Amino acid sequence: PLRRFDQGHFRISIVDAQGNKAWPNPVWIT
């Protein structure tokens, strides 16, 4: 899992072997 801080918002992005971003976990945007 790649933990990324994007513009002050905490996002957990999962990048699979094909390079596609999957989101198995909720993305918290406040």
pLDDT in tens, 1-30: 455 555 544 455 556 566 666 555 555 554
How would you write the chain as a 3-class SS string? CEEEEECCEEEEEEECCCCCEECCCCCCCC
Per-residue pLDDT, 25:
56
Per-residue pLDDT, 30:
47
Instruction: Tokens for 15, please give them.
Output: 């990048």
Domains of the chain, by residue range, sit at 1-30
pTM above 0.95, yes or no: no
Per-residue pLDDT, 20:
63
